[in-house]
Amino acid sequence: MTRKLIRARLLTFHTEPNGPDDTQAYDYIEDGALLVAGGRIEAMGTFSDVSPMACDVPVIDHRPYLVMPGFIDTHIHFPQVQVIASWGAQLLDWLNSYTFPEETRFADTGHATRMASTFYDELVGHGTTTAVAFCSVHPQSVDAFFSEAARRNMAMIGGKVMMDRNAPDALLDTAQQGYDESKALIDRWHGTGRARYAVTPRFAITSTPDQMRAAGTLAAEHPDCLIQTHLSENRDEIAYTAELYPQARDYLDVYERNGLLGPNTFLGHSIHLEPREIDAIADNGAHPTFCPTSNLFLGSGLFDDAGLRARGIGNAIATDVGAGTSYSMLQTLQDAYKILQLQGQKLHPLRAFHWITRGNAVALGMEDRIGTLDAGSVADFVVLDSAATSAMALRMERAQDLSEELFVLQMMGDSRSVVETYVAGVAQIGDRAARADTGLKESGPILAA
C-alpha cells in the first residue's frame, strides 16, 4: 500500500461557520501533516504528531502553501467545454445558438472521448475533484464522461440529458428511449468505483409530460441516484414552461408532480421562485444550486441565498460551465460575493470555502467520503498559493489572519493559485506533466466513494 506524508498548512471544516469568530467550525493547522495511505487520509494533525506514525514514508513538503479539501462543483455541462465565452445571448437564445449545435457533436464517440480528457484536465487544473455534470443526450457522451473519471479515480456524478422536444432532431430522444438509455447507463455506471448517476431531465421545456413521467419512474426505481435539472433561471423560460404545462401550479410543480423533488434533487439556478415553490423546496429538502458566473453572463438575475437559507434550505454552488465563465470555484466565489452584495447579503470567506468543500459534500450526502481532511476520507485535496500573482503577493503583505488570506483567494484567485490537486492521493497536475514528458499513464486504486 502506497503511503505518503503531506506537509503544509491545513484547513478543514467540521460544520458551517456562523461567522468570523466561529473557530470551532474548522481546524487550521500552521504546520500540519496528512498521512495518506491507499488513497485515503489515514491521519491528520500537526506535523509533530503525525510524522512519527509515518516512519520512513516520503515527505512531500508543500509549505508555505495551504491545503484544503478538493473543490466540489455541483452543476456543470460536460458537452459545453468549447462554447464557454460565446457572445451575446440570454438563456433560450444561448441554448439554440450555441449549446444545442455543440452538443450534437457528442454523437461522435471519438469527439466525446477527446473532450472528456480535456474537461478533466480543466477541472483538476482549477482544484476541482468532484463535479455533478450534465452530459449530452447521447449515451456515448456518458460513457466517455465516466470512463475518464474511472481512469483518474475521481468521484464524479453525471447523467444523459433526457429531452424529447424543442431541440434539434439530432438531440432528441423519446420518452421510452430516454428511459431505456438512462436505465442502461445506471446499470453500467452507478456505484462502479467512485461513479454515481444523476437522472437528468434537462428542463421542462425540452421534455414532454410523458418524458417527465419516465424520469420520475427512473428516480423511483433508483432512489440512491441524484436528480438534476434546471428551474426558474429566466423569466422567458418560466413563461414558456407555463404555456407547455398549463395544468402545473408553477414551474417547480412540473417536477414535483412527477416524483422528481426530494433531498437528492439539485435545481440549477432557482432565481425567480414563487412562495409556494420555496415552501415545497424546503419541505422536500431539495437543493437550489447557485451559479453566479452564469447568472451574470446570461443576465438571468440575482440568487437569494439568504432568503432561501432562512427557510432552512441547503443551497449548493457551482460553475455552470459553459454559460458559466470559469471552471474555477474561486472565481465562482468571487461573483457569488458580488451578487450577494447587490442584495445586502454577505459571504464571509470562511463560509465561502466551507461551501465549495464540505458544504457541497453535505448537499450531495457525501461528507463522510469527500469535502474534509478527516481521517477516513478519500485523499482528494488541493494545494493553494495565496500569493500566486504579483498583485496577490502585494495584497498578502498586509493580510493579518486566515480570513483575510481566504478572501484574497476568493476575490483574486484562479487556476494560477492551484499549485497541485490530489485525487485519491495521486498528484494530478505535476503527474500530468510527468506523463506528458514520459508518455506514461498512471492511475490509482479504484475507491468506492
Residues of the chain below pLDDT 50: 433-446, 449
User: Which pLDDT score, from 0 to 100, does residue 254 have?
Assistant: 98
The predicted structure's pLDDT at residue 92: 81
What is the predicted pLDDT for the residue at 95? 86
Q: Strands 226-231 and 381-384: what pairing?
A: unpaired
pLDDT in tens, 368-415: 999 999 999 999 999 999 999 999 999 999 999 999 999 999 999 999
Beta bridge partners of 290: 317
* pTM of this structure: 0.95
In percent, how much of the chain has pLDDT > 90?
A: 90
Residues 27-58 as b/e (b if ≥16 CB within 10 A, e otherwise) read bbbeebbbbbbebbbbbbbebeebbeebeebe
Dihedral Cα 382, 388, 391, 395, nearest 10 deg:
60
pLDDT of amino acid 446: 42
DSSP H or E stretch at residue 217: helix 209-221
Q: What pLDDT does 5 receive?
A: 98
Q: In what order do the strands lie in the sheet with 418-423?
A: 40-46, 26-37, 3-13, 59-69, 381-384, 418-423, 426-427
